[in-house]
Structure 1
Amino acid sequence: MLARLQPFMFTFALAGLITYFVFHGLTGELGWMLSAQRKEELKQRNAELIHVHQQRMDLEARARLLRDGSLSRDLLEERARSLLGFSDPKDYVIRLKP
Structure 2
Amino acid sequence: MWTKHHKKRKFGRLVLPLITVAFLSYFGYHSVHGDLGLIATEEFERQRAARADELAKLTAKREALERQVRLMSDGTLEKDMLDEIARYQLNVSRSDEIVIFKSYY
**Bin for the TM-score computed over the shorter chain:** 0.5 to 0.7
Number of the residue aligned with 2:41: 35
Find the aligned partners of 2:80 and 2:16 in 1 and give their Cα distance: 80
* TM-score, reference length from structure 1: 0.65
Amino acid at match of 1:45: R
Q: Please list the CA deviations of residues 33-87 of structure 1 after superposition, one character each: whole Å capped at 9, or x if unmatched.
A: 3433332222221111111100000000001111111112222001221344321
Amino acid at match of 1:28: G
Does 1 or 2 have the higher relative contact order (CA < 8 Å, sep 6+)? 2
Residue 74 of structure 1: which of 77, 80, 92 is its match?
A: 80
Gaps in structure 2 of 5+ consecutive residues: 1-8
**Percent of pairs with identical residues:** 28
Gaps in structure 1 of 5+ consecutive residues: none
Report how many aligned residue pairs link the two structures.
91
Work out which of the two has the higher radius of gyration on C-alpha atoms and give 1 or 2: 2
